[in-house]
């Protein structure tokens, strides 16, 4: 539900005050038995509820997405959606296999002046970066991708200095030792969101090594989300990018 559009309809006389009040009060959530679909998430947070696909059946995801799409003015995002479940769903949607994301409805136009830059240390980190990129784009952001610019060949990163300097927020995605976030943090004047990935050899401990490196970054302005949490990084970056808009 877009409260701003609702109020504009009241202002223009297209909708009565009582009808608008009823719309706000009506069905803050719906109990479907297996899920309580939150229709007022966009009122509280500015962004509609996002469906987490893991642990749900294709039928459950399909039903939740259908309900949210009926009530939403924008697109509905489904994260961690496997190809098998996507193939079994009946609702009309776009599926991005690398990011494991489904998008129901039309992706909104870019509604911010700021730019989100997403950088990966290697090609192996791209699936998490794509999750972040698609999340941010579905939330109305301009996204620039810098893939495979890790510190093993730092000249690749330095060739994109203009993109780094002009960003409003940067997402740094890296596994192994997770050094990319510190390097970018030392170059950028904007917030940097570090995403440790589970990419790496045995001693990386499934991403814990990169997580601890990023938490111990000596560069100021670097914050860290959980291992492989591209969605969380994209969502937070969107919130930062919309400040002042």
Q: Establish if 109 belongs to a structural domain.
A: no
Q: Same domain, yes or no, for 71 and 140?
A: no
Q: Same domain, yes or no, for 156 and 227?
A: yes
pLDDT digits (tens, 9 = 90+) for 15-47: 888 877 777 666 677 667 888 787 777 777 777
pLDDT at 14: 86
pLDDT digits (tens, 9 = 90+) for 132-178: 999 999 999 999 999 999 998 999 999 999 999 999 999 999 999 99
pLDDT at 97: 93
- Residue keyed to tokens 């620039």: 144
pLDDT digits (tens, 9 = 90+) for 64-88: 998 888 877 778 899 999 999 999 9
With a cut of 70, say whether residue 1 has pLDDT above it: no
Please tell me the number of Cα atoms within 13 Å of 65 on its side-chain side: 28
Q: Establish if 142 belongs to a structural domain.
A: yes
Q: Establish if 130 belongs to a structural domain.
A: yes
Q: Same domain, yes or no, for 98 and 124?
A: no
Compute CA distances 162 → 144, 159, 188, 189, whole Å: 12, 8, 10, 12
Residue 54's domain comprises 3-104
Dist CA 70 CA 65 (whole Å): 9
pLDDT at 87: 93
Q: Same domain, yes or no, for 97 and 119?
A: no
Q: Same domain, yes or no, for 15 and 64?
A: yes
Q: Establish if 70 belongs to a structural domain.
A: yes
Tell me the average pLDDT across 189-202: 94
Q: Same domain, yes or no, for 99 and 145?
A: no
- Residue keyed to tokens 């997403």: 118
Q: Establish if 136 belongs to a structural domain.
A: yes
Classify residue 34 as left (phi > 0), alpha (psi -120 to 50) or beta. Answer: alpha
Q: Same domain, yes or no, for 98 and 162?
A: no
Q: Same domain, yes or no, for 120 and 234?
A: yes
Number of domains in the chain: 2
Give the domain CATH number at 199: 3.40.50.1970
Q: Establish if 110 belongs to a structural domain.
A: no
Compute CA distances 50 → 14, 17, 18, 94, 139, whole Å: 30, 30, 29, 15, 11
Q: Same domain, yes or no, for 83 and 133?
A: no
End residue of a domain, out of 78, 104, 130? 104
Q: Same domain, yes or no, for 171 and 65?
A: no
Compute CA distances 168 → 14, 193, 218, 226, whole Å: 37, 11, 21, 21
Q: Establish if 30 belongs to a structural domain.
A: yes
End residue of a domain, out of 104, 139, 162? 104
End residue of a domain, out of 104, 123, 138? 104
pLDDT at 42: 74
pLDDT at 69: 86
pTM of the model: 0.85
Q: Same domain, yes or no, for 54 and 122?
A: no
pLDDT digits (tens, 9 = 90+) for 133-146: 999 999 999 999 99
pLDDT at 197: 96
Stated as kind and residue range, the H or E segment containing 1 is: none
pLDDT at 156: 93
pLDDT at 2: 62
pLDDT digits (tens, 9 = 90+) for 93-133: 999 999 999 999 888 888 889 999 999 999 999 999 999 99
Q: Same domain, yes or no, for 134 and 210?
A: yes
Dist CA 202 CA 176 (whole Å): 10
Q: Establish if 25 belongs to a structural domain.
A: yes
């Amino acid at each position: 539900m877009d409260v701003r559009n609702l109020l504009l309809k009241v202002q223009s006389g297209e909708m009565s005050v009582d009808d608008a009040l009823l719309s706000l009060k009506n069905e803050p959530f719906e109990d479907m038995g297996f899920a309580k679909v939150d229709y007022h998430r966009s009122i509280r947070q500015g962004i509609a509820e996002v469906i987490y696909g893991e642990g749900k059946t294709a039928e459950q995801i399909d039903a939740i997405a259908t309900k949210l799409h009926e009530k939403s003015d924008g697109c509905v995002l489904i994260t961690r959606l496997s190809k098998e479940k996507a193939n079994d769903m009946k609702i009309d949607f776009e599926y991005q296999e690398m990011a494991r994301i489904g998008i129901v409805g039309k992706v909104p136009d870019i509604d911010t002046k700021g730019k989100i830059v997403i950088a990966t240390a290697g090609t192996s980190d791209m699936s998490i970066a794509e999750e972040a990129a698609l999340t941010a784009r579905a939330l109305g952001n301009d996204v620039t991708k810098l893939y495979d610019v890790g510190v093993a060949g730092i000249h690749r990163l330095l060739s994109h200095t203009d993109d780094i300097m002009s960003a409003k927020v940067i997402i740094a995605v890296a596994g192994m030792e997770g050094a990319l976030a510190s390097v970018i943090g030392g170059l950028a004047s904007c917030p940097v969101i570090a995403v440790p990935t589970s990419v790496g050899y045995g001693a990386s401990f499934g991403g814990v090594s990169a997580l601890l490196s990023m938490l111990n970054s000596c560069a100021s302005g670097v914050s860290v989300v959980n291992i492989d949490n591209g969605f969380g990084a994209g969502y937070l970056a969107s919130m930062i990018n919309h400040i002042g808009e």
